[in-house]
A and B are shown apart, each in its own frame.
Chain A
Amino acid sequence: MAELTPIERVKRFFNREPVDKMPFFTGMGMVLRPAIQKLGYKFPSIHRDAEKLAYAGIESARMFNLDSVVIPFDMCWESEALGNEISLYEDSEDTLYPTIPYKKWAELDQVEITPDDIDNIMDKYPMNLIPEAIKIVKNEAPELALGAWQLGPFTQCGQTIELDKVLKAVFKEKQRVEDILDKFSDMIINIGNALIDAGADFITLREPGVAADLLSPRTFKELIAPRLTRILKAWRSPKVLHICGSTDPLVEMMWQVVQDSGAQAISFDIKNNLLESRKKLGNDAIILGNYDVFKLPCAEETTVEEAIEGIKTNIDGLVDAVWPGCDLWPDIKPENFKAMEKTAREYKPGPTPAVGRL
């Protein structure tokens, strides 16, 4: 049997067709320091340059044998397109992702998302750079799967207005919050479809601001889940739902969103009891995520053997692919990460609960 290419592996995986070996990939931020060093790029320079974005993504995947490239890397794109300034930390030697230091809308009643923002967001800078970068990746690295992602409406709202105000407004100004979330949802649908049109092979909807240690499960059910369902339903291509933070109380509701929307997979971060989740969702669910993106690949003190053990634990937790719990941190230790990839491919060659083997 010929080995599948990464893109074949990922496409078959999401189609629930048997694959040759355990996929090792991600749909969340993934740019790795050794790769950008090889390319001679400075970290702050890669975020708003379509070519650098593309090549940094490709080199990160190729250097460590991941099945996917992920575009883009940071979470400020949409907020910047809506008029906020970002900080790139150009003078810092540390790995600092762009942030939005000050938000132009101080209060919820100042928020003004126009039909033009929603319908033409991809024409605005910097959003117009992302499809450009995707096209470069598709041309230069056709063997790799390409994952795009979008933040969910609640988290995106927190990127545009201070999160504490949004959280309080859930109680104090519920209708206003609902209206804003609906506008963000429309915008996110349009962006996701534009990224798929540009060539993304799969897309991940990430809603880290709604974990059960922040919002009540009831609020998740009433306010968040219907919008996540609507967004995922409107997107084509394979799609994944990921929530950061504590998700044990949300597992069934998240899975309901996946099923109602026709999404393919569910992804958790480190704060999830994987075996319990598998028990709750059954063997039909494609479950991803949960490995520690700091401790295993990055921590100075973590040995290669410990990193290998961490991946074995992840696989023993009955995931269907080895996929991180969050964005991969750029400052990985190459020896750890390479060993993690090798372990993922070799540890248990048989089928996983939801996906068979060739």
Chain B
Amino acid sequence: MATKEELLEALKDGVINYKEDQVKEAAQAAIDDGHLALEMIMDGLAAGMEVVGELYERHEYFVPEVLMCADALYGGLAILRPHVPKQDGGTVAQVVIGSIQGDVHDIGKNLVKMMFDVAGWEVYDLGRDVPLEKFVEEQMRTDAEVVAMSAMMTTTMLGMKKVIKMIKEKNPNVAIMLGGAPVTQDVAKLFGADGYAESAGNAVAEGIKMISRLREFEKQKK
């Protein structure tokens, strides 16, 4: 039987080197051996993703590698997440996420979604090419704290501004996160957003930083 440390290492290494089968096996073994699922997620999967973020920032990894790492991470998360008790960092908050109408690209959106999934948020993924009103309706229905939107094309970006206006009018406390290739800091500011990620890659870097902060938070709780 593998030790806890060996399982954590197998999870971490599997994510870094996009070994999906290794991650699944280690995740299942961790559950079978009675280890804490949240610890496996945070110190195994998320720790691996943190290294992936460093590799990305050093330009050793690019988006294809990160996508494969994300596949491995999800392989483990699907096994571990159902075993995280609610009071033990289960659902911490809610986010509505989607690519804006007119945009059928969703790589960046899916990478940001991964960050929320790891963090244990309840994610309402509206998919892509989402009509503007749908973001507002879903936020109202779920009372989500965060709405995250992405657009990969300049031509669809303006829709975000309309959504922000509609949501903020109804609920000014909702945090809005924007992402996508044409979205700059200036644009996010002009549109009245609360945060932004400029590209799929940047979304990864930002998302991973958030995962790191979450790990720190979990450590402090212990």
Contacts and interface: CB of A to CB of B under 8 A. Distances in A.
Question: Do A and B bind?
Answer: yes
A94 B101 contact: yes
Contacts of A101: 104, 129
Contact of A219 (B62, B67, B199): B62
Given A94-B101, A167-B64, A331-B158, A213 B199 contact: yes
Contacts of B158: 94-95, 298, 329, 331
Contacts, number: 91
A89 to B, nearest CB: 7
Contacts of B169: none
B84 interface: no
B67 A164 contact: yes
A215 B62 contact: yes
Contacts of B153: 97
Q: From DSSP, what is the main secondary structure of chain B's interface residues?
A: helix
B129 A99 contact: yes
A244 interface: yes
Contacts of B190: 299-301
Contacts of A245: 181, 199
Nearest to B104: A99
Nearest to B157: A294
Q: From DSSP, what is the main secondary structure of chain A's interface residues?
A: loop
Given A163-B105, A164-B67, A294-B182, A96 B62 contact: no
B63 interface: yes
B149 to A, nearest CB: 14
Interface in A180-202: none
Contacts of A164: 67, 106-107, 110
A289 to B, nearest CB: 14
Most buried by A among B102, B190, B200, B201: B102
A249 B62 CA distance: 13
Contact of B154 (A94, A213, A294): A294
A326 B200 CA distance: 18
Interface residues of A, number: 39
A234 interface: no
A172 B187 CA distance: 36
B9 to A, nearest CB: 23
A172 B68 CA distance: 9
B63 A97 contact: no
Interface in A203-249: 213-216, 219, 244-246, 249
A213 B102 CA distance: 23
A215 B64 contact: yes
A244 B63 CA distance: 16
Contacts of B155: 95-97, 327, 329-330
Contacts of A87: 129
Contacts of B129: 87, 99, 101
Contacts of A293: 154
Contact of A96 (B64, B65, B101, B187): B101
A170 interface: yes
Contacts of A92: 101
A167 B187 contact: no
A100 interface: yes
A167 B101 contact: no
A62 interface: no
A171 B65 contact: yes
Given A327-B155, A331-B158, A170 B181 contact: no
A168 interface: yes
B181 A167 contact: no
Given A94-B158, A219-B62, A327-B154, A214 B104 contact: no
A100 B104 contact: yes
12 contacts: A94-B102, A99-B102, A99-B104, A101-B104, A163-B107, A167-B64, A170-B64, A246-B199, A294-B157, A294-B182, A295-B184, A329-B154
Minimum-distance CB pairs A-B, first 8: A96-B102, A167-B64, A216-B62, A213-B201, A99-B104, A214-B63, A213-B199, A164-B107
